[in-house]
């Protein structure tokens, strides 16, 4: 009986966390709706004299996208005498030769090639070393899978109208949104972040984050905040909080787009998700306590905690999903009052709010109600199912981050599939060693399909929608993972 109460306690705690998280999301949605009218407003006047800018391109073994990246930045509309482009290359393969050969095509552009023989500090270390040699007053950063807008600098520099503004972040768009089911679902999630979360936080003066790429910094802000640190896997989030805690202001402009490639296979998605969720947990340990002690309005502290600890949602979903099996069984056997189970239905408001956030971002991004309505009918439930199916994988990452376990920076493989030059299976950067957690995902898929069967057999449908989504989500994550780890073998 004690174990039963323990399971019920876990279930209610998990659902309570999800509800609180959803309330934070709902508040961001409210501020997004207020901020959306600012879209497309003409920024402050262009500067009287344009400043020097350094564009940093951190690169590590990027055979498939580095040439596309160089071609794109070579087209940046900015005075050549005011522009420096740094290629911060840690590559250990033929990428080095590709870069050297490609740069010869642009002798008139101020490219600075910096190759490191080690990866000390990984991306943060490369950015830090490049900063020492940067001549620009402002530092724009693009990852290798981005294709910068030629007018990026002309659009972003005017927003540094005040000396207090330290960073301007733009909105990611997706080069390969329609490539596959997985890319569509990723775009679905990222659009909610870049529409609802970033706009909602920025509108109310809460902390936002530089997204690691597609943004531009004032160099003095980076130095004042302590430069790039490599003690977390999300150096971008870490520096963002250090800078804003020192009083620097950030600007988010959703109408300025930065196109990028989405990982098309599950193994690459998991690699990226692991780094983001674990790094977020590491930054939570590093900054949450300090933010709480500092003199910030309650709304700023509330959204800071929701922001820093948002990856804990995966632990909550994982714990809630497992404990729901025990709660279902206890309800079926009459071991807990039925009224208690019905009262717990109030927690479902959390899922409704979360779904609402994604619905609004999807409709707003599409700008066409008919097309949006047809697409969201299947994309929203499928997205929520896959998100639940990633709970085990991401919960492990969050737990490692919160417990202080360190791990190296693992890059996300890039593909450049739009060029048609490379087949998916020929990518040499694919991971082929399947982690043991993938097998557990398959087992969990079977377990929840079993719960679906029991629901119909016993005619107890209390958790049927939840368990069906878990069954489908874990199954899809397992199958796509199994296929992706086997590519190219």
Residues recognised as catalytic: 90, 236
Max alpha carbon distance in the chain (Å)?
79
Q: Which residues pair with 58 in a beta bridge?
A: 88
For residues 141 and 127, the answer to whether their CB atoms sit within 8 Å is yes
- Tokens 């498939």 correspond to 64
The CA distance from 460 to 65, in Å, is 52
Q: How far apart are CA 301 and CA 293, in angstroms?
A: 9
Q: Residue 379 corresponds to which tokens in the numbers above? A: 């994309």
Task: Please say whether the dihedral angle defined by the alpha carbons of residues 177, 261, 429 and 67, taken in this order, is positive or negative.
Answer: positive
The residue written with tokens 């004032």 in the block is 218
For the chain, the first-to-last Cα distance in angstroms comes to 50
β-strand partners of 260 = 146, 174
219/387 Cα distance (integer angstroms): 37
Q: What are phi and psi of 40, to 5 degrees?
A: 75, 0
Residues contacting residue 487 through CB under 8 Å, at least 6 positions apart: 265, 424, 425, 427, 430, 432
């Amino acid at each position: 009986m004690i174990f039963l109460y323990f399971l019920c306690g876990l279930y209610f705690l998990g659902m309570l966390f999800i509800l609180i998280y959803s309330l934070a999301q709902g508040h961001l949605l409210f501020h997004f709706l207020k901020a959306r009218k600012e879209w497309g407003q003409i920024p402050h006047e262009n500067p009287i004299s344009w400043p020097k800018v350094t564009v940093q391109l951190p690169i590590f073994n990027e055979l498939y996208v580095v040439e596309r990246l160089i071609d794109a930045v070579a087209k940046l509309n900015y005075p050549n005498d005011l522009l420096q482009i740094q290629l911060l290359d840690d590559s250990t393969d033929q990428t080095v030769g590709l870069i050297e050969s490609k740069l010869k095509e642009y002798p008139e552009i101020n490219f600075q090639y910096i190759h490191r023989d080690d990866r000390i500090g990984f991306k943060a270390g490369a950015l830090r070393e490049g900063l020492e040699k940067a001549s620009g007053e402002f530092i724009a950063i693009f990852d290798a899978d981005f294709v910068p807008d030629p007018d990026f600098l002309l659009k972003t520099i005017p927003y540094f109208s005040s000396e207090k503004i330290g960073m301007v972040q733009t909105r990611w768009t997706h080069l390969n949104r329609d490539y596959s089911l997985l890319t569509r679902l990723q775009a679905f999630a990222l659009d909610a972040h870049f529409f609802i979360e970033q706009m909602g936080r920025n509108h109310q003066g809460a902390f936002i984050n530089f997204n690691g790429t597609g943004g531009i910094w004032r160099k003095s802000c980076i130095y004042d905040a302590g430069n790039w640190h490599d003690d977390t896997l999300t150096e971008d989030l870490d520096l963002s909080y250090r800078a804003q805690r020192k009083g620097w202001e950030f600007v988010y402009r959703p109408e300025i787009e930065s196109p990028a490639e989405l990982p098309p296979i599950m193994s690459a998605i998991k690699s990226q998700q692991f780094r983001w969720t674990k790094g977020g947990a590491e930054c939570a340990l590093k900054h949450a306590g300090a933010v709480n002690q500092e003199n910030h309005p309650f709304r700023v502290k509330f959204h800071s905690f929701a922001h820093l600890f948002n990856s804990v949602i995966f632990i909550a979903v994982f714990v809630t999903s497992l404990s729901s099996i025990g709660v279902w069984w206890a309800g079926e056997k009459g071991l807990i009052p039925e009224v208690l189970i019905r009262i717990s239905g109030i927690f479902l408001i959390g899922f409704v709010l979360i779904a609402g956030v994604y619905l609004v971002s999807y409709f707003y991004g599409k700008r066409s109600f008919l097309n949006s309505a047809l697409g969201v009918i299947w994309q929203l439930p499928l997205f929520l199912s896959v998100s639940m199916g990633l709970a085990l994988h991401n919960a492990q990452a969050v737990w490692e981050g919160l417990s202080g376990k360190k791990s190296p920076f693992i890059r996300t493989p890039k593909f450049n599939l739009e060029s048609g030059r490379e087949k998916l299976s020929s990518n040499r950067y694919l991971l082929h060693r399947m982690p043991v957690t993938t097998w557990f995902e398959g087992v969990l898929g079977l377990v929840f399909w079993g719960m679906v069967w029991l629901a119909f057999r016993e005619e107890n449908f209390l958790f049927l929608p939840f368990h069906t989504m878990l069954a489908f989500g874990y199954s899809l994550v397992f199958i796509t993972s199994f296929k992706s780890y086997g590519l190219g073998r």
